[in-house]
Amino acid sequence: MRLSRYFMPILKENPKEAEIVSHRLMLRAGMIRQQSQGIYSWLPLGKRVLDKVNAIIRDEQNRAGAIELSMPTLQSAELWQESGRYDAYGKEMLRIKDRQDRPMLYGPTNEEMVTDIFRSSVKSYKDLPLNLYHIQLKFRDEIRPRFGTMRSREFMMKDAYSFDLTREAAEHSYNKMFAAYLRTFDRLGLRAIPMRADTGPIGGKLSHEFIILADTGESEVFCHKDFVDFDIPGEHTDFDSVEGLQAIFDKWTSLYAATSEMHDEAAFNAVPEGDRLSARGIEVGHIFYFGPKYSEPMGAKVQGPDGKEHFVHMGSYGIGPTRLVPAIIEASHDDNGIIWPASVAPFDVVVINMKAGDQACDDTCELIYAALSKAGKDVLYDDTDDRAGTKFATADLIGVPVQIIAGPRAVANGEVEVKDRKTGARETMTIEAAINRFVA
Ligand code: P5A
């Protein structure tokens, strides 16, 4: 991508409305734009990061055996009347009428809709287990939308829904998502700790919130400090192994960890004082087991091996991609801007032409740009005629992990400078060596 032809509206000044660093940096880097309260456009740079986050989420959902579909944002009120949640959901639900005066709503979540899909075609236990997910916009008319896309009214959610014949089987489905979530957040460069949490309007008795520790987090959390160093389930985790996944779940729930709503002061005080971590956190995921809460009122049942009909046991599993992007920034930035983990960086490398119009600089940059693009890298080429200082500031602000800097003096020697955004380390090397670093 040539910066001269890209759309990346950088702000020079700090936006006044942004209270936390991620919101400030997302606005300054031209990643998002507020359209109305708690409703955002994702501009091209932000969209790239969001897409990469979603690709990792999708990859781990698929690995755990979940199957992707796509459900609409608008739902009929009837479904919600069946489950009994239409009235209970309150003012957070955006209610709409269509031209025939039929009550509709902008979905805040999809338990009802997916239960309807399930009951229309699954009739036998032989088709279980089943886990269906999508990545779709949701709307919740939050009282206090704030911090940009961290808590917005329209937001994206990956929501998965599992269906099983028995409670035991449903627990295995829960454990699959539990392990998948640990892997997902790890791949996003985050340490998320599962904590016992309140189930709120989704319901059920068992749930875990996945929390990132951050001073700007909205939740107050309490946990054992050892969670910070626990091992993440590996790439070859067998998601069909009931014992294997149970062992992961048991280990990750063996020590104290709870959000303020579920906090048990006495249990926390039993943790040795030096091991207690009392902090603020950002909830990036939340998983639930609620058994037949929706299947019973909505008549979602299958024939079991005993020939009888059974209401299915369900769980639901949410991750907030549009919250994850600012959460990653909260965890990874410095005074100059964002520092993206390589896995979600909008570009792998930025090539900075320090003297656009200078033949040798232009030729060198074009050569590097072409070679790296051909090698499948996402390359941003700063071919603008901005001052070098502006270019460096922009490259630092948008947080691309590696900068290749081509200035007249180095280029005259057949060299460029390679800068690591995170450490700030700079290295002068031949053009060929700079290319090989990515191509090899
Ligand atoms: C689980 C999947 C649910 O809605 N139903 C389907 C269940 N859970 S939840 O905890 O309410 O939300 C799941 C995740 O969505 C993100 N999220 C938000 N992100 C941005 N702005 C919001 N207003 C918002 N509300 C929820 C969070 O990451 C949450 O964990």
What one-character-per-residue DSSP string does 323-368 give?
A: HHHHHHHHHSEETTEE---GGG-S-SEEEEETTTT-HHHHHHHHHH
How far away, in angstroms, is 166 Cα from ligand 1 center? 26
* pLDDT(305) > 80: yes
Percentage with pLDDT > 70 across the chain: 100
- Could you give the C-alpha distances from 121 to 79, 293, 312, in angstroms and in order? 17, 19, 13
Identify whether residues 301 and 367 lie together within a single domain: no
Whose alpha carbon is nearest atom 27 of ligand 1?
320
- Which two structure tokens, joined as six digits, stand for 94? 């955006």
pLDDT at res. 205: 83
Helices of type H across 253-332: 265-269, 295-298, 321-331
pLDDT per position as a tens digit, 202-238? 888 899 999 999 999 999 999 999 999 999 999 999 9
Cα distance between residue 349 and residue 334, in whole Å: 18
Predicted pLDDT at 439: 83
Boundary-marking domain end, from 319, 338, 357: 338
Helices (H), 103-162: 111-121
Q: Where a domain ends, among 284, 315, 338?
A: 338
Is residue 90 domain-resident? yes
Query: What are the tokens at 297?
Result: 């009122």
pLDDT above 80 for 370: yes
Residues 364 and 303 in one domain: no
Give yes or no: residues 356 and 261 share one domain.
no
Domain assignment of residue 214, given as a range: 6-338
Question: Is 222 contained in some domain?
Answer: yes
Index of the ligand 1 atom closest to the CA of residue 108: 4
Q: What percent of the chain has pLDDT over 90?
A: 96
Q: Whose CA is nearest to atom 30 of ligand 1?
A: 285
Together in a domain, 224 and 258: yes
**Least confident interval from 134-138, 197-201, 430-434:** 197-201
Closest CA to 252 of 198, 205, 194: 194
Residues 328 and 373 in one domain: no
Residue 200: Cβ within 10 Å count: 10
Q: Give the distance (Å) from ligand 1 centre to CA of residue 29.
A: 25
Considering the domain boundaries, does residue 1 fall inside one? no
Q: Average pLDDT of 61-89?
A: 97
Nearest Cα residue to atom 15 of ligand 1: 320
DSSP at 271: S
Q: Judging by DSSP bridges, how do beta strands 67-68 and 39-42 pair with one another? A: unpaired
Rounded to whole angstroms, how far apart are CA atoms 9 and 24? 14
In 3D space, the residue among 2, 48, 19 whose CA is nearest the CA of residue 399 turns out to be: 48
Mean pLDDT score, 289-311: 98
Q: Are residues 429 and 296 in the same domain?
A: no
Q: What is the pLDDT of residue 201?
A: 87
Q: How confident is the model at residue 122 (pLDDT cuts 50, 70, 90)?
A: very high
Q: What's the N-to-C CA distance of the chain in angstroms?
A: 22
Residues in contact with ligand 1 (CB, 6 Å cut-off): 109, 140, 142, 151-152, 155, 157, 159, 202, 283-286, 288, 316-320, 322-323
The C-alpha atoms of residue 9 and residue 426 are separated, in whole angstroms, by: 27
What is the count of structural domains for the chain?
2
Same domain membership, residue 320 and residue 425: no
Q: Which of 136, 138, 157, 316 to mutate to test the pocket of ligand 1 (most atoms within 8 A of CB)?
A: 157
Q: Please, which residues bridge with residue 280 across strands?
A: 220
- Can you give the CATH number for the domain in which 157 is found? 3.30.930.10
The whole-number pLDDT of residue 434 equals 97
Compute, in angstroms, the gap from residue 283 CA to the centroid of ligand 1: 8
Domain CATH code at residue 377 = 3.40.50.800
Ligand 1 atom with the shortest distance to the CA of 200 = 11
Q: pLDDT (tens digit, 9 = 90+) per residue, 106-117?
A: 999 999 999 999
58 inside domain? yes
Q: Whose CA is nearest to atom 10 of ligand 1?
A: 286
- Reference 6, options 36, 45, 47; nearest CA is 45
338, 373, 399: which is the final residue of a domain?
Answer: 338
Out of 188, 282, 286, give the residue to mutate to test ligand 1, the one with the largest number of ligand atoms within 8 Å of its CB: 286
Q: Are residues 109 and 65 in the same domain?
A: yes
Residue range 182-199: average pLDDT?
Answer: 96
| pLDDT value for 145 | 96
**Residue 287 alpha carbon to ligand 1 centre in Å:** 10
Q: What is the pLDDT of residue 202?
A: 86
Instruction: Tell me: do 309 and 366 sit in the same domain.
Output: no
Same domain as 106, residue 180: yes
Structure tokens at 386: 């901005």
What does the mean pLDDT of the chain come to? 97
In this predicted structure, the answer to whether residue 440 has a pLDDT above a threshold of 80 is no
343 assigned to some structural domain: no
| pLDDT in the model for residue 352 | 98
Q: Are residues 154 and 284 in the same domain?
A: yes
Confidence of residue 119 (pLDDT cuts 50, 70, 90): very high
- Phi/psi for 225 (5° steps) reads -70, -20
How far apart are the C-alpha atoms of 292 and 284, rounded to whole Å?
26
**Same-domain pairing of 258 and 334:** yes
> Beta-strand (E) ranges in 197-300?
206-213, 219-224, 257-259, 276-291
Window from 6-20, 49-63, 296-310 with minimum mean pLDDT: 6-20
Residue 115: partners with Cβ closer than 8 Å, 6 or more residues away: 83, 161, 294, 295, 298, 300, 314
Residue 423 pLDDT:
97
Task: Report pLDDT for 199.
Answer: 87
- Asked whether residue 344 is assigned to any structural domain, the reply reads no
Question: Cα of 293 to ligand 1 centre, how many Å?
Answer: 19
List, in order, residues 6 or more apart from 411 with CB less than 8 Å away. Answer: 360, 361, 364
